[in-house]
Structure 1
């Protein structure tokens, strides 16, 4: 115990020579319900379908210490190959959603798909609370897989927009991607879910256009 009668300068010196307390690394909020995957599955846009992507979301969340939640990837699915069409907006619950730092990024599905959402490079972070590289960073990994339109639905256009429903790692095909940092190129450069289409589905193809096969995860 430091005597109370000592001068402030002496007390300061005594305290500074002691063993400093090590600041604890902030853990993800227990009520985290939104994140970008810190890593992909390493096989391009072949995620094992939406089911495989959901499993990856759950694995990462649990590894970060967030348990007891059901996680779905923000991915749409096309009506091809015997699959039914699925809209990303219809599979992520009702909200609200918080990131790993406790920031509410959207209060509802409609809020998420409006200009009122709080998605940005600073808020669209990983399950560990880390920033994801954006435009201007090396490497740039701001292309986030979604397969979705601006309002979160599967595209009605002909052609591949989901890399064969998230089962392809080929140099051909395409997936619609968004920019988590809300900047860049494409038809909708500031869109978090529909900036442009990728040029291929392989890992190298996705990297070449500014991505790394990352995707959004929401607790439902």
Structure 2
């Protein structure tokens, strides 16, 4: 099932109560932003932004294309596998690439590249993070 079909119609807020997106269109058109896409404690996720702590952990497991549809075979077996031969689609919570690049290809929060290893997400800038969407 596609993520956009499971997460409701919005609006969505981050852990500090700031509006992330009012509806599905806004959510999936949005770019990553280290001041908005926070962890569950309201902290900024280490990434490529200036002054970020290390290591980079901005890769977030989504398994989705830019429009919120599933990328078949890129969900670590529906998030149940740590098999190093399996991969997952990830987005960038900070919307940045190497050397703080804000090139279009690095900006989406939900779909930037494939993480090469479901057993260890760290090598390409991950920490096994996922987004949780909760209804009011």
| TM-score when normalising by structure 2 | 0.86
- The Cα of 1:202 is off from its aligned counterpart by 0.6
Q: Which residue of 2 aligns with 1:92?
A: 7
Instruction: Say which of 79, 86, 108 aligns to 1:191.
Output: 108
- Structure 1 188/134 Cα, relative in aligned 2: closer, same or farther at 3 Å? same
Runs of 4+ that moved beyond 2 A: 185-188
Count of residue pairs brought into register by the alignment: 128
Report matched runs for 1:99-178 at 5 Å: 99-114=14-29, 117=30, 119-135=32-48, 137-155=53-71, 160-178=73-91
CA distance in 2, matches of 1:118, 1:196: 14
- Offset at residue 170 of structure 1 (A): 1.6
What's the C-alpha RMSD, in Å, of the aligned pairs? 1.9
Give me the TM-score of the superposition, normalised by structure 1: 0.54
Distance 1:126 1:212 in 2: 12
Change (3 A) 1:96 1:118: farther
Residues 172-196 of structure 1, C-alpha deviation per residue, up to 9 Å, x if partnerless? 1110000000011699311111110
Q: Offset at 1:118?
A: 7.0
Counterparts of 1:103 and 1:161 in 2: how far apart (Å)?
Answer: 30
Task: Identify if the C-alpha distance between structure 1 residues 89 and 111 changes in structure 2 by more than 3 Å, giving closer, same or farther.
Answer: same
Which consecutive unaligned segments of at least 5 residues does structure 2 have?
none
Stretch of structure 1 that moved more, 135-144 or 172-181: 135-144
In structure 1, how many angstroms separate the alpha carbons of the residues matched to 2:32 and 2:74?
23
Distance 1:171 1:127 in 2: 27
